[in-house]
Structure formats: C-alpha cells, structure tokens
A = this chain, B = another copy of it.
Amino acid sequence: MVATLSASEPDVAERSPRRRRKDARPSELTAAALDLFVERGFAATRLDDVATRAGVSKGTLYLYFDSKEALFKAVIEEGIVPAIAAAEQQLAGHEGSAAELLRALLIGWWQQIGSTRMGGVVKLIISESRNFPDVAQYYHDHVIVRGRSLLRTALQRGFASGEFRRMDVESCIDVIIAPLLMLVIWRYSFCFCGNDIAPDDYLNTHFDLLIRGLTQAETRQ
C-alpha cells in the first residue's frame, strides 16, 4: 500500500469495498435493529434476529455494541441527528405567512421524518420511553423541545400579525403535533387490520381544519 501525504481524509472511492463494508456495518445493524424494535418492541426482539436480518452473526453485533441496551441507544441516536438537522433546516428563514410557515413545518416533518425510516424512531421512543427514561429525556430535550419551539415561532408570528386568533400556545402545539405522531404510530401498529390511513388525505384534512380553526373569524369572507 502506498503511503499518501494526506491520509487523514481518504476519499470514499479510494477505500476497498471491504473497508466500505466495515464502515457501513454499524448502520446496517442499527437499521435492522430499528425495524425489529419497532415491529416487536425492544424486549421482545432477539439479538439473533437482528443479526440475521443484518446478514451477520450474532457475535458480530458485540464487535460494535456493548450490549442490547447500547444498541438501542445507538438506534435512537442515529435517528436524532437527522431529526435535529431537519429541524435546523426548517428554521432557516421562511418569509411567508404564518399559515404558509405552519404548512411547511407539517409537510416538512412528514417528508423528512414521519414518512421515512425515522418515523420508526419516533414510534420507538414513544413506546419505550418508560423503560429508558434517560434516552427519553435526551430525546425530549434535544428533539421535542426544539420541534415545539419551531411550532411556537410559527404560531406566535400568526398571533402577532393578527392572522391567527390568540389561543393558548402550548395546548395548540400539543394538538397540532398529536395527529402527526398518531400517524406514524398507526402506520406501525394497526396497519394490518383494514384501518390503513391515506397519509396525504389525512394531513390535508388536519391542516385544513387547523388553519380554519386558527384563523380570525373576521378575516374571512
């Protein structure tokens, strides 16, 4: 192997396939784990099944994660980073009306979180929060609080401009978020018994009701 001057940032293309594989292992494992944790719950998931789904042996898991709990935390953490990134991105100035901003936040959440693999993380956190209080607290502090903050900004802009009638902000945030969370929960829970929800219709109805519900009566005509 030739020594390079700048070995510090080896290009992806330069690595051997095997090396690339090795680097990818942890996320392949967390991906497999996420699927199964979401489907069966943490306690009911066997590491054997996680390993099999990731196409490795059970022992290999322990090369990357110290314990089942460590794997769980890694699964969540891997879902937190992009969630935060998505939030940051939404924050980046949006100059439209409050309603437009609200719509952008809801649609953005669905497109970048809810409908993706990360929707599973949301469901998982909700399901297991009692068994992993520290993880839940961390998620709460870094993701939930930030998400609520975004919604608060949008609502308060609407209040300030007179676009929305004044209401209790925190309750509004909860009521706005609930259908979003419920959507991912439904998708991962009751999906099988003929209760399947069409996300687009559902979100449109949610937004439709919400905007009209928020809007000042006198502004309409």
Quick check: A193 and B140 within 8 Å, CB to CB? yes
Quick check: A126 and B189 within 8 Å, CB to CB? yes
Chain A, range 147-190, C-beta contacts under 8 Å to B: 167-168, 170-172, 174-175, 177-179, 181-183, 185, 188-190
Binds B, one of A5-13, A79-87, A104-112, A201-209: A201-209
Chain A, range 100-145, C-beta contacts under 8 Å to B: 126-131, 133, 136-137, 140-141, 144
- Alpha-carbon separation in the docked complex, A166 to B192 (Å): 29
Q: Cβ of A211: which chain B residues have Cβ within 8 Å of it?
A: 213
Q: Cβ of A144: which chain B residues have Cβ within 8 Å of it?
A: 190, 195
A26 nearest CB across to chain B (Å): 21
- Alpha-carbon separation in the docked complex, A199 to B79 (Å): 29
- Alpha-carbon separation in the docked complex, A177 to B140 (Å): 24
A140's nearest neighbour on chain B, judged by CB, is B193
Does A1 have its Cβ within 8 Å of any Cβ on chain B?
no
Size of interface on A: residues with Cβ below 8 Å to B: 56
Q: Cβ of A128: which chain B residues have Cβ within 8 Å of it?
A: 41
Does A43 have its Cβ within 8 Å of any Cβ on chain B?
yes
Does A212 have its Cβ within 8 Å of any Cβ on chain B?
yes
Does A89 have its Cβ within 8 Å of any Cβ on chain B?
no
- Nearest 8 pairs of A and B residues by beta carbon: A209-B213, A213-B213, A178-B182, A171-B205, A43-B43, A43-B44, A178-B179, A212-B213
Partner-B contacts on A (CB < 8 A): 39-44, 126-131, 133, 136-137, 140-141, 144, 167-168, 170-172, 174-175, 177-179, 181-183, 185, 188-190, 192-195, 197-198, 201-202, 204-206, 208-214, 217, 220-221
